[in-house]
Structure 1
Amino acid sequence: MFSKRIKFNTALAALLLSPSLAFAHTGTGQAVGFAAGLSHPLSGLDHILAMVMVGVVAWQLGGRAVWMVPATFVAVMGVGGALGMMGIALPFVEAGIGLSVIVLGVIVALGVRAPVAVAVGLVGLFAVFHGHAHGSEMPAAAAGMAYAAGFLIATAALHVVGLAMGYGIARAGDTKGVVVTRSAGSAAALAGIGLMTGLI
């Protein structure tokens, strides 16, 4: 079941991004853009933690949330990225990113089981901030579509990592699973606090 869900998420991401990927290797700007976009989400602890936590939250909720929550994050992050690339200002971007790590970490730690619509709305809100940060930090030499394809693929991959973590936690059993979940979520939330206060 887990394998099918992961394959579906990967296929969905590949399908959505295939038009952009076609440009990833044509010309210097495209190649630079794709590589820069792919590496950008992996260069910051805040982005990594939030995106992995999205995958864990999706796994904890189960059912439709397993694909809807990550897919929403990727789609809305694309919108936020476009806003950033166009230079459209968005207030509280850094605070929104930091808060996303804290809130998602707490949700994972406490095992909060919100309705799917609420979870989708929450991750969608946070995705705008993450996407805007990626878009506004696009290198001048990068091609926009290739850069966007890169950071969306990297994000989807991090969501898959989170889903795999959720699966691993579930396999650990009720007692061990709860301990691991609380530890992982708490660590992410504390890291988020550290990032927001400048301690990390």
Structure 2
Amino acid sequence: MRNSPLYAFALSILVATPALAHTGAGSVSGFASGFGHPIGGLDHLLAMIAGGILASQQGGKSLWLLPVSFVAMMVVGGALGIAGVAVPFVELGIVGSVIVLGAVIALGKHMPTGAAMALVGVLAIFHGHAHGTEMPVDASGFEYGLGFALATAMLHAVGLGLGLAAQKAAEKFAPVAVRIGGGVIAAAGLALFAA
């Protein structure tokens, strides 16, 4: 099937459960669990895909600098979580990241690359901290961290691909579609906040 990756992605969104992303429920160890953590929650999925969409919207060096900034700062947040360093309002920061990234996409304003990197980097710390604090004591920190970093990079690539595909599909329609997508992401974040 030509569209099987698209169907697999759509299915992963439909079966993602936000509750499993932050309870430590289920078997959590090693690479597979680290990889599954960002994919297992709608909040992580939306924020990371939004990071890729924002990178595509910003263009230029942002195409790779924003995803790299997000992953790097998420690893920093993960290390803080593993080390037991408290970060205030982690869950609020995660939901807030969905709202903020969605809103920035919806507004469609070009940001300086440094400001966009700082924005995604700060928001990524919350996601990384959640990943790090939920790593079990007996898990390999390296394997678990590698798993969540690769899953995050993959989700950014999905968002980047979606944003670039939308721009190629119709130059006139793409900016509106991307902004609408940002609005939908922000609305989903508000729904997560209200839940």
User: Where on the TM-score scale, by shorter chain, does this alignment land: which range?
Assistant: 0.7 to 0.9
**Structure 1 residue runs of 4+, over 4 Å off?**
none
Give how far 1:184 is off. Answer: 1.0
- 1:57 maps to a residue whose letter is L
**Structure 2: distance between partners of 1:59 and 1:82:** 28
- Please tell me the residue identity of whatever aligns with 1:51: M
Alignment RMSD = 1.3
Q: TM-score, normalised by structure 1?
A: 0.81
> How far does residue 110 in structure 1 lie from its aligned partner after superposition?
1.6
Could you say which residue in structure 2 is the equivalent of 1:146? 143
* 1:1-200 aligned within 5 A: 32-198=29-195
Q: Which whole-Å deviations, capped at 9, do the CAs of 1:21-70 have from their partners, x for residues lacking one? A: xxxxxxxxxx9410110000001101000000100111111111111110
- Name the CA distance, whole Å, in 1 between partners of 2:68 and 2:39: 19
**Residue of structure 1 equivalent to 2:21:** none
Native 8 Å contact 2:74 2:128 kept in 1 = yes
Q: Report the Cα distance in structure 2 between the residues aligned to 1:191 and 1:72, rounded to whole angstroms.
A: 24
Instruction: Compare 169-178 and 86-95 and name the one that shifted more.
Output: 169-178
2:29 touches 2:135 (CA, 8 Å); kept in 1? no
Deviation at residue 139 of structure 1 after TM alignment: 2.6
Structure 1 residue ranges without an equivalent (≥5): 1-30
Contact 1:80 1:135 in 2 (8 A): yes
CA offset digits 1:74-108 (Å, max 9, x no partner): 01110100010111111011111111100100111
Structure 2 portions without partners, runs of 5+:
1-27
Instruction: State how far apart, in whole Å, the 2-side matches of 1:40 and 1:112 are.
Output: 31
Q: Which amino acid aligns with 2:113?
A: V
1:46/1:97 contact within 8 Å kept:
yes
